[in-house]
Structure 1
Amino acid sequence: MKNLQDATERICELKGSLVALDALLPAVIDTLSAAALARLADSFDAHAEAARIVMLHSDISDVVLTTFEREIARNRALLQRSQEPLGRATRTGVVDELLLTTTRITTFVGSQVQTRASGFFFRRGDQLFLVSSRHVFADATRSHFPDRIEIGLHTDTHDLTRHETVSLPLYRDGLGQWREAVDSGGKVDVAVLAIPATRLPADAVVLAFDDSHLDARGEDVAIGDALTIAGFPFGFHDTAHHLAVARSACVASAYGVRFRQQGCFLIDARSHPGSSGSPVVRRRSGGHPGASAVRWRLLGVHSTRVDMGDRDPLRDDGLALTCTWYADVLPTLTAEG
């Protein structure tokens, strides 16, 4: 009887220990960066394999082995879910992945702040680019010639308060490092800046648009369609989590037509300084196999307000129209060579 009681108590102790371990593992995962999670997963697989070899060469019942394999699979699944790309991890959560493609840009001359603007990430193959309005990087009409910019990057997939500022030079040996385009209508107010991998923090979490987000996938865009602009108007944003804010807009000119022979279309939206360079997007009507994490179609790059040249500012309201440059210029700007 004594042995049975001891065995029962020991089983209860083991159950308590397992429950405590079940509580510990998610707590550990929540405190780890993406890189640390990857190392933990690799280490877990190695230790699990070592334990499996020992058990297979020991006098252990099949029940123990079956339970071991079940728990290994459960813990591995927990680790894999925790390592999912940020866009997939947040799609059913609070944060929309669109906000994580967008970053605040601050321009500098030396240590002096010049302007604040918006930008977003675009990936072409292995190369990551920052996209913004060309006038953010250089604007002769305003004598605006910064020599570097700073952008913000999240460094943790779970804790969005973890954030680092990255400085990127705009010139090297006197030459501008951004790429810009000219078409039949003149200069296009879109520019891209390649971000070297060496400039990124080791734990950088970057969610970027790519060519798949330019693909219409059979969805037409018509006048009056609802759009979204994600950016930093007047620099305003969630300062705790370093997230952009979104404004609503709609298509205000014929989409697919070059407004006044320029590579842009008009949107009806409240626009403020600091929004230049924001992505202008339209939510896709449904999921598409093979599409990457961001479930938006990238239509354009937010630029400047459009107004009547002869409007009386004291008597007449502004048009509240904004020029948006077509995003189909991005494959050309990000092409190799």
Structure 2
Amino acid sequence: MAWDLAVELIHATVQLEQPLGDGTRTVGTGFLISEIAPDGSPRTVLVTAGHVFSKMPGAEARIGYRIENADGSWSYSPQKLTIRDADGKKLWTQHPSRDVAVMSITAPEPFAKAAIPLNWLAQDDTFQTNQVGAGDEMMALGFPRGLAANQAGFPILRSGRVASFPVAPAKSFPTFLLDFTVFPGNSGGPVFMSQAARRRVGATENGQDVQFIAGLLTQQVELNNERLEIGIVTHAKYIRETIALMDNPLAPVTVAHVEPVAGARAASAEEAVSPQ
């Protein structure tokens, strides 16, 4: 059976939250990537927007794991996630020029298995090779204003059309626009082209469906304090670069030629305040 990236990413996407002590919490979205550490051992990497962590003032956040019960039901089981050490030093790795953060985590075995292989992240030439561009449909997962799809804590799946041209190369266009209403709490969620979405716009010449993680949602577009219902997606290339920086702080990074659209602002975790 063909691998369905939409279903796999639903299992790999988690809510990130931090209680504020006053009955409210900040929320964001993250997703898990599996890769090989320098010593050859497998590891699980949590990916999110940098501002999700930076806007959480405390040292401990919560990561929203889910447990499948024997009867086929699911339970929401958030666990502690330490994001700063005792001296307040951040434990995540931040891309130097893009709003991307990653950190190695010890996840429960089902989540470690659910993590998406690194090679599903788009590379620099993925968009050109697959002729992906304006008007193509992409999917996005997240927790708008901390809302989950159900009590089990699964993310909400939504879709939008690529709303900018051109979308590549990432060095020239580090972000692209998605016709998609962004809410606080969506930050850090994966944006991807799924098998089902690709069928609507056609397959590649050899008849194969195209599936890849295009990037992560980092901002929304506002003009004169009016939300334009457009999301800004940071290319997956910068996720790859940030993961490389975990092991080698001197790993090469891309210096983009063009900054995000004027008027953009973060779909920030600090705004995603909701009752606990």
Q: In the comparison of the two structures, how many residue pairs are matched?
A: 223
Quote the Cα distance in structure 1 between the aligned partners of 2:218 and 2:91: 20
1:154 is aligned to 2:66: yes
Q: Which amino acid aligns with 2:180?
A: A
Cα deviation for residue 171 of structure 1 reads 1.1
Which residues in structure 2 correspond to 1:27-46 (within 5 Å)? none
Alpha-carbon distance in 2 for matches of 1:162, 1:233: 20
The 3 A distance-change label for structure 1 pair 205 and 123 is closer
Does residue 181 of the first structure (1) align with residue 88 of the second (2)? no
CA distance in 2, matches of 1:130, 1:214: 13
Distance 1:192 1:105 in 2: 13
Q: Give the alignment's Cα RMSD to 1 decimal.
A: 3.2
Q: Corresponding residue for 2:147?
A: 236
Q: Which residue of 2 aligns with 1:107?
A: 18
**Structure with the bigger percentage of helix:** 1
Whether the aligned pair in 1 keeps the contact of 2:8 and 2:116 (CA below 8 Å) is no
Q: Which residue of 2 aligns with 1:302?
A: 217
Measured after TM superposition, the shift of residue 109 of structure 1 is: 5.6
1:329: how far off? 1.5
* Among candidates 167, 189, 201, match of residue 80 of structure 2: 167
Q: Which amino acid aligns with 1:181?
A: H
Deviations 1:102-156 (A, max 9, x none): 11110246797540111111111211011111001004xxxx5232211122333
Would you say the 8 A contact 2:34–2:112 is kept in 1?
no
Identical-pair percentage: 23
- 1:122·1:130 contact (CA, 8 Å) conserved in 2? yes
- Offset of residue 214 of structure 1: 2.2
Counterpart mapping for 1:3-14 below 5 A: none
Alpha-carbon separation, structure 1, partners of 2:44 and 2:99: 20
What is the one-letter code of the residue matched to 2:99?
Answer: D
CA apart distance, 1:176: 0.6
Mapped partners of 2:216, 2:90: distance in 1: 21
Structure 2 residue identity aligned to 1:145? P
SS of residue paired to 1:224: coil
Residue in 1 aligned with 2:34? 123
Change (3 A) 1:131 1:263: same
Flag the structure with larger Rg.
1
* SS in structure 2 of the partner of residue 100 of structure 1: helix
Specify which structure has the bigger relative contact order, considering alpha-carbon pairs within 8 angstroms and separated by 6 or more residues.
2
* Between structures 1 and 2, the one with greater strand share: 2
Local SS of the residue matching 1:176: coil
Residue 324 (structure 1) aligns with: 233
- Structure 1 regions of 5+ residues with no counterpart? 1-86, 289-294
Point out where structure 2 has 5 or more consecutive residues left out of the alignment: 37-41, 205-209, 249-276
Instruction: Decide whether aligned partners of structure 1 residues 145 and 240 sit closer, same or farther in structure 2, where only a CA change above 3 A counts.
Output: closer
- Label 1:132 to 1:229 Cα distance change in 2 as closer, same or farther (>3 A): same
SS in 2 for 1:116: strand
Q: What's the offset of the Cα at 1:203? A: 5.5
Say if 1:203 and 1:124 are closer, same or farther in 2 by CA, change over 3 A: closer
Relative distance call for 1:132 and 1:226 in structure 2 (3 A) is same
Matched with 2:135 is 224
Cα 1:132–1:112 change in 2 (3 A) is: farther
Q: Supply the AA of the counterpart residue of 1:188.
A: R
Change (3 A) 1:240 1:195: same
Q: Could you tell me which residue of structure 2 aligns to residue 333 of structure 1?
A: 242
With over 3 angstroms needed to count, the CA separation of the structure-2 counterparts of 1:270 and 1:193, relative to structure 1, is same
- Give the drift of 1:247: 1.4
Q: Do the aligned residues in 2 keep the contact of 1:156 with 1:203 (CA within 8 Å)?
A: no
Alignment check: 8 A CA contact 1:110 1:147 kept: no
Moved over 6 A (4+): none
Listed one character per residue, the Cα deviations across residues 36-83 of structure 1 (whole Å, up to 9, x for unaligned) are: xxxxxxxxxxxxxxxxxxxxxxxxxxxxxxxxxxxxxxxxxxxxxxxx
Answer whether contact 1:105 1:116 (CA < 8 A) is retained: yes
Q: What is the CA distance between 1:179 and its match in structure 2? A: 0.6
Q: What one-letter code is carried by the residue in structure 2 that aligns with 1:176?
A: K
| Aligned match of 1:136 | 52
